[in-house]
Amino acid sequence: MNIYSALISILILLNSYFKTYDLKPFSHILGLEGFIKTKKPYFCANMMHFELSEEHLAVQQAARDFAQTELLPGVIERDNKQEFPAEQIKKLGELGFLGMMVDPKYGGSGMDTISYVLAMEELSKVDASASVVVSVNNSLVCWGLENFANEEQKQKYLVPLAKGLVHGAFCLSEPEAGSDATSQRTTAVDMGDYYLVNGTKNWITNGNTASTYLVIAQTNVEAGHRGINAFIMTRDMEGFVVGKKEDKMGIRGSDTHSLMFTDVKVPKANRIGEDGFGFKFAMKTLTGGRIGIASQALGIASGAYELSLKYAKERKAFGTEIMNHQAIQFKLADMATDIEAARMLCLKAAWLKDQHLDYGRASSMAKLFSSEVAMKHTVEAVQIHGGYGYVKEYHVERLMRDAKITQIYEGTSEVQRVVISRDILK
Ligand code: CAA
């Protein structure tokens, strides 16, 4: 049997097994006219295509509906007052959006990363202060615990987080350790059956609203990054103090605080992984987190674009709707093109993660590009809106302020370029 006939035999076998796939269009090439009956070529199942499944579309629609009915009302007020969207986060938890990718046996929704990207885009179109909670809880806290915590830790901490009963925080940044994440000053001294933790963490998302904190600290200075550990901490631990709330430019509804630890006794049972695994834990977790923030940036950009499109069709200048002016048309064309490219990068990174393939470079590319697109095109959205764009009622000025943080947190654009270039050059 030559390769050609072996291939035909395999295709026929697969075709008869998977009745829904059709080899018809290929039957004349294969010389098998009339022999092949069903609808789609089998090998399309594994071929690249750009269609979302019905399940993906349903998740996307659910997130879109939630954003319109639950997040949109009050979003301007929450931004003004720096008010955390507590009710909305509770509802998102009840709907399964806080543990989207967690296995149902740990209380999660068991969805894939593609679904997560789609949901993040829709929520972020309207309220990036709420979507950052979704991102941190899903990708940094739940994913980190599901993949690296032991069974006892999962039962105790992951299950309530995945069910959305509570949410968590990821504590890596410090006053002197932002991009240079190996320079941890927070110490965790091994005292036998517990660690004594001292130090300060900065700019912690969910700092005052979280119940579970994943804290990175230095145990063995001589060992450098290999002496860093990750711990599960709770705010009821003695010596754990929540510091001041940050008064931020954007995502003002999100809850950002510094945290202070003074002689906090953290049981050894709360260390994640082997001794010295903490830095790798942080890096691996952030690699997935960057897909979440990339999708948030994508949502901010596409939210601004949709508002601009609507405005351009309604607003008149020089005797016609402004969409009829080429200056506006070109802006819209650039926005639509860049946003589509950002979406492709986000979905590609998510797909690679779902296939258990290396997604480090892809997630950094998605975050770098999407956050730059968000910044660039929210500025353009304000420009299209003119004077109205500069006032709060029209939403785009908030989206412009919110966009900026996507170039900074979970690794600045410069850090993403470091990750990408190192991967290219290795
Ligand atoms: N996966 C697994 N291991 C990784 C890794 C990854 N993605 N990246 C690095 N490592 C490992 C390396 O292999 C190396 O281990 P070995 O020595 O055993 O081989 C170790 O980690 C150190 O790596 P580097 O030498 O590359 O470390 P570096 O000091 O040069 O730093 C960096 C690299 C990419 C700049 C990194 O420090 C970094 O990502 N910085 C940014 C930190 C960040 O994203 N902070 C965000 C704060 S969290 C936040 O914002 C959350 C929020 O609330 C929204």
For a pLDDT cut of 90, what percent of the chain falls above it? 87
Provide mean pLDDT across the span 326-350: 98
CA distances from 419 to 213, 285, 425 (A): 26, 14, 10
**What is the bridge-based pairing of β-strands 240-245 and 187-190?**
unpaired
Say yes or no: 35 and 145 in one domain. Answer: no
pLDDT of residue 117: 98
**How far is the centre of ligand 1, averaged over its atoms, from the C-alpha of 237 (Å)?**
28
Residues in CB range of 189: below 8 A, 6 or more apart = 195, 196, 198, 219
Whether the CB-CB separation of 24 and 37 falls below 8 Å is answered with yes
| Predicted confidence band of residue 46 (pLDDT cuts 50, 70, 90) | low
- pLDDT tens digits along 64-88: 999 999 999 999 999 999 999 999 9
CATH of the domain at 112: 1.10.540.10
Whether the CB-CB separation of 234 and 259 falls below 8 Å is answered with no
Residue where one domain finishes, among candidates 150, 166, 182: 166
Residue where one domain finishes, among candidates 166, 200, 219: 166
Say yes or no: CB of residue 216 within 6 Å of ligand 1: no
For a pLDDT cut of 70, what percent of the chain falls above it? 89
Residues in CB range of 252: below 8 A, 6 or more apart = 78, 79, 80, 82, 129, 401
Give the number of domains in the chain.
Answer: 4
Catalytic residue among 83, 306, 410, 414: 410
Expressed as residue numbers, the domain containing 19 is: 3-47
**What is the bridge-based pairing of β-strands 168-171 and 212-218?**
parallel
Mutate to test the pocket of ligand 1, among 129, 280, 406 (most ligand atoms within 8 A of CB): 280
Say yes or no: 336 and 237 in one domain. Answer: no
pLDDT of residue 4: 53
CATH of the domain at 327: 1.20.140.10
Per-residue pLDDT at 127 exceeds 90: yes
Say yes or no: 293 and 353 in one domain. Answer: yes
Say yes or no: CB of residue 134 within 6 Å of ligand 1: no
Provide mean pLDDT across the span 113-137: 98
Say yes or no: 189 and 262 in one domain. Answer: yes
Say yes or no: 130 and 71 in one domain. Answer: yes
Contacts 24+ apart (CB under 8 A), 85-89: 85/127, 85/129, 85/130, 85/133, 85/253, 86/209, 88/127, 88/130, 89/130, 89/133, 89/167, 89/209
Say yes or no: CB of residue 141 within 6 Å of ligand 1: no
| Predicted confidence band of residue 9 (pLDDT cuts 50, 70, 90) | low
Nearest CA to ligand 1 atom 46: 410
Say yes or no: CB of residue 124 within 6 Å of ligand 1: no
The closest-lying atom of ligand 1 relative to the alpha carbon of residue 226 is 18
Nearest CA to ligand 1 atom 12: 280
Q: Which amino acid makes up residue 146?
A: E
pLDDT of residue 34: 39
Say yes or no: 195 and 105 in one domain. Answer: no
Say yes or no: 338 and 397 in one domain. Answer: yes
Provide mean pLDDT across the span 134-146: 98
Say yes or no: CB of residue 293 within 6 Å of ligand 1: no
**How far is the centre of ligand 1, averaged over its atoms, from the C-alpha of 410 (Å)?**
10
Say yes or no: CB of residue 182 within 6 Å of ligand 1: yes
Whether the CB-CB separation of 145 and 125 falls below 8 Å is answered with no
Identify each DSSP E strand in 45-90 by its residue range.
none
pLDDT of residue 235: 93
| Predicted confidence band of residue 391 (pLDDT cuts 50, 70, 90) | very high
pLDDT of residue 31: 43
Give yes or no: 414 in active site.
Answer: no
Provide mean pLDDT across the span 224-243: 97
Say yes or no: 383 and 417 in one domain. Answer: yes
Residue where one domain finishes, among candidates 233, 253, 279: 279
Say yes or no: CB of residue 220 within 6 Å of ligand 1: no
Mutate to test the pocket of ligand 1, among 137, 213, 283 (most ligand atoms within 8 A of CB): 283
Nearest CA to ligand 1 atom 13: 280
CATH of the domain at 257: 2.40.110.10
